[in-house]
Amino acid sequence: MNILQIIPELKLGGTERGTVELARGLVARGHRSVVISGGGELVRYLDTYGTKHYTLPVGAKNPWTIFQMVRRVCRIIEEEHIDVVHARSRVPGLIAFLACRKTSRPLVTTCHGYYRKNFFGYCMGWGKRVIVSSQAIGRHMLEDFEVSPERIRLIPRGVDLDVFTYRSPRRNPQGEFTIGMIGRITPLKGHLDFIRAISRVVRAFPKIKVLIVGDAPPGKTKYRQELELLVKRLGLHQTVQWAGTSYDIPKILSEMDLLVLASKTPEAFGRVMIEAGACGVPVVATRVGGVVDVVTDGKEGLLVPPEDPLALAEAILRILKDPSLASAFAKRLREKVEKEYSLGGMIDKTLMVYEEALKKDRILVVKLGAVGDVVLAVPSLRAIRKKFVKSHITLLVGRDAFELVQHSPYLDDIVVYDSKRKDKRGSRRLQLASELRRRGFDQVIDLQNNKTSQLLSYLSLAPKRFGFDRGLFRFLVNRKLKDPGSLPPVEHQGKLLRLLGIETVDPRLELWPQPKDEAYVGTLLQQEWLAGNESLVGVNLGGSIRWETKRWPVEYIAELCDRLGQDKIRVVLTGTEQERNLAQKLLSQVHVKPIVAIGKTTLPQLASLIRRCRAFVTVDSAPLHLAASMDTPVIALFGPTDPKRHFPPVGKGIVLNKKVKCHPCYLRRCPIGLICMTRITPQEVYQEVKRWVQTPYEEVLR
């Protein structure tokens, strides 16, 4: 693999040293390593290790500079044939994100600290994979930046055990100990508390030496002066030595008898602690952030509350006074470092994340339509799963259809969109868009292709968004195809799937009722005294209440029920709760009472019920698609809509449709008396039902 790391600068610091060490490890394992930074002393090590470096101001927050850097980084990605981009800080994270979108490369980010909840902080959660160095940082990204847990990977920092060699803590009866702090000199690191604690320790051990390693970054020089003044005021100028910036941390640690980490705010990890542990140096630290992942209080070291110089002094004195305790802490911390924090282990885990980012895409399929439309999308879902076997596939679907697909073997996850919450429709869409961004999709396949679905696709920030060209809104998708027009739904979707390399789509429909649904239907029919040898025929009472023109007259259904009843064929009426009034009207006209299942089933239960039927009579509605999925012979009654567009792919069944002059009109209210539906007679429907009922049951099942 060709890996690009991008970081603001390469001066002394845990993040910077980690970048250099990872670059060396990548090259040693046969990969190609490239780094972009603003420069620094550590660049010379990259040259030694065989890593190519580009010096660019990728840490500058100036918008114009950021815009220029995106273009430069895109060029480097293409010229160096980069496979994965790894961003290690916020501004470089934004630059890398935009460059990866333009070049279609996966982005990995590593969160090295606690970020403020601002725009640049959120950028660190936009990687396809987000690496965190501790449990504390993982919770921070999850809770404060709403990064999906599926994208977070915990990889603690590692230490090169060949460089940081172990030695047992020295016994010094004369009390000549060296205590040190390593890190940038900033208020957050707690140097003031450390110096105040030392003023107490020196009373018991007047011969101690204190090393403060590191220097103040630009803008913090006054803080350094404040520390120097405090040292003089406490009479510690003979005790405290300002070692400045050092690049030989192993040598510095070899001179120490105790390392102190006095941070006031949560540490992302505390790399210097595992380096001290590798060298056999005991540790006293404040109980903040990722520190608790490395050191268990009283086992591998001592932890104290932050901003408590007295407690810090007591912990330091406890270790200095008890050599056996210091040795026990050092030994246990070394063992933990060997087991959990080796540099080789960190590099191997990071490589696994790179490979995962390259191979495992997160795909969102959008289908917000009615129940029948979602059923007709099943062949596309099956084809997508077959094409992308290892990908994580999520379906965005309306609430009404959720229960039909919740057990689909072709999906890893489902996101539900409740379009009926009209009072909060705008805010709901914004919330949903935020949820989709949080999940970090690589591709969106829009099978709905309306304004809402394409807007949500766009707001998901997925690099690849597949959909049909909708003219004014064509910019919302970036992998588009001209809409082929009026085609059967499965064939229409198949045209779009060709953009993904899916040439053929098996049109077979299927659903997945569960054993509990089968059991419910069995109890329902048993309560209606259905004999085991009786033929059962389903009749769907109506369609959507918005489509009165699709309905077959109630008196026709009553006549059909009576005809079938006279032949000892049991009829079960299906429909929604909204059709109970129609059912009452029907029951007042029939002589042979049918089984009434209207409003008594969920969609999976209805599918299970339809599977029990020898034939199913329905208008153009969702139960038509359920029947096709259950492979039940269907007699479909079409009026205002075109069966060429809406009749599902079925193995058994027939369409009854009268070719009147106004067909298809797609009107929801008919001005001339529903002649397209009234011309379909009960007699001809009865004859079609009888044909299927008289077919041997084994043939129907085939």
238 pairs with which residues across the strands? none
Give the Cβ contact number of residue 687 at 10 Å.
Answer: 12
Average pLDDT, stretch 509-515? 93
DSSP H/E element including 167: none
Cis status, amide bond into 649, omega within 30 of 0 = no
DSSP codes joined into one string, 409-427: TT-SEEEEE-TT-GGGHHH
Quick one: which of 502, 497, 637 has its CA closest to 560?
637
What dihedral do alpha carbons 625, 629, 632, 635 form, nearest 10°?
20
Q: Are 212 and 180 in contact (CB under 8 A)?
A: yes
Q: What is the Rg, in whole angstroms, of the alpha carbon atoms belonging to the chain?
A: 35
Q: Three-state SS string across 198-258, please?
A: HHHHHHHCCCCEEEEECCCCCCCHHHHHHHHHHHHHCCCCCCEEEEECCCCHHHHHHCCCE
Q: How many helices (H) and strands (E) does the chain have?
A: 29, 25
Q: Which residues, other chains included, contact 112 with Cβ-Cβ below 8 Å and sequence gap of 6+? A: 14, 15, 88, 89, 133, 268, 269
Quick one: which of 530, 620, 545, 541 has its CA closest to 573?
541
The distance of Cα 224 from the centroid of its chain, to the nearest Å, equals 44
Instruction: State how far the Cα of 52 lies from the Cα of 427, in Å rounded to an integer.
Output: 47
* Digit-coded pLDDT (tens) for 101-144: 889 899 999 998 888 888 888 889 989 999 998 888 999 999 89
Instruction: State how far the Cα of 601 lies from the Cα of 609, in Å rounded to an integer.
Output: 9
What's the chain's length in residues? 702
pLDDT at 80: 95
Instruction: State how far the Cα of 490 lies from the Cα of 324, in Å rounded to an integer.
Output: 75
Average pLDDT, stretch 309-315? 96
pLDDT at 194: 95
DSSP 553: P
Instruction: State how far the Cα of 302 lies from the Cα of 313, in Å rounded to an integer.
Output: 11
For the record, the structure tokens of 161 come out as 């055990």
Confidence of residue 425 (pLDDT cuts 50, 70, 90): low
For the record, the structure tokens of 322 come out as 């008890």
Average pLDDT, stretch 350-355? 95
* Digit-coded pLDDT (tens) for 251-290: 999 989 999 999 998 877 888 999 999 999 999 999 998 8
DSSP H/E element including 298: none
pLDDT at 550: 84
Instruction: State how far the Cα of 501 lies from the Cα of 394, in Å rounded to an integer.
Output: 19
For the four alpha carbons of 600, 602, 607 and 608, in that order, the dihedral sign comes to negative
pLDDT at 388: 92
For the record, the structure tokens of 299 come out as 């086992």
Quick one: which of 419, 432, 410 has its CA closest to 368?
419
pLDDT at 15: 86
**What SS3 class is residue 546?**
coil
pLDDT at 543: 66
pLDDT at 315: 96
Instruction: State how far the Cα of 236 lies from the Cα of 228, in Å rounded to an integer.
Output: 10
Letter for the amino acid at 547?
W
The distance of Cα 235 from the centroid of its chain, to the nearest Å, equals 56
Q: Which residues, other chains included, contact 291 with Cβ-Cβ below 8 Å and sequence gap of 6+? A: 261, 263, 267, 269, 270, 273, 285, 303
Q: Largest alpha-carbon pair distance within the chain?
A: 112
What is the residue-averaged pLDDT of the chain?
89
**What SS3 class is residue 416?**
strand
Please work out, in degrees rounded to the nearest 5, the angle formed at the alpha carbon of residue 9 by the alpha carbons of 98 and 462.
Answer: 15
DSSP 54: E
pLDDT at 426: 63
User: pTM of the full predicted structure?
Assistant: 0.73
Whether residue 514 is predicted with pLDDT greater than 90 in this model: the reply is yes
Average pLDDT, stretch 39-52? 91
pLDDT at 695: 65
Instruction: State how far the Cα of 77 lies from the Cα of 102, in Å rounded to an integer.
Output: 10
Whether residue 698 is predicted with pLDDT greater than 50 in this model: the reply is no
* Tokens 């998708």, residue located: 477
For the record, the structure tokens of 673 come out as 């008396």
DSSP H/E element including 417: strand 413-417
Terminal-residue alpha carbon distance, the chain: 51
Most confident of 28-32, 183-187, 245-249, 652-656: 28-32
The distance of Cα 56 from the centroid of its chain, to the nearest Å, equals 32
pLDDT at 148: 86
Q: Are 246 and 213 in contact (CB under 8 A)?
A: yes
**What SS3 class is residue 397?**
strand
Structural domains of the chain sorted by starting position, each given as residue range(s) with its CATH number in brackets: 2-154 (3.40.50.2000), 178-339 (3.40.50.2000), 360-500 (3.40.50.2000), 515-701 (3.40.50.2000)
Most confident of 317-331, 451-465, 482-496, 631-645: 317-331
More confident residue, 535 or 651: 535
Confidence of residue 539 (pLDDT cuts 50, 70, 90): very high
DSSP 652: S
414 pairs with which residues across the strands? 395
DSSP codes joined into one string, 615-649: EEEEESSHHHHHHHHTT--EEEEESSS-HHHHS--
Q: Give exposure, 324-356, as e/b (b: 16+ Cβ within 10 Å).
A: ebbbebbbbbbebbeeebbbeebbeebbebbee
117 pairs with which residues across the strands? none
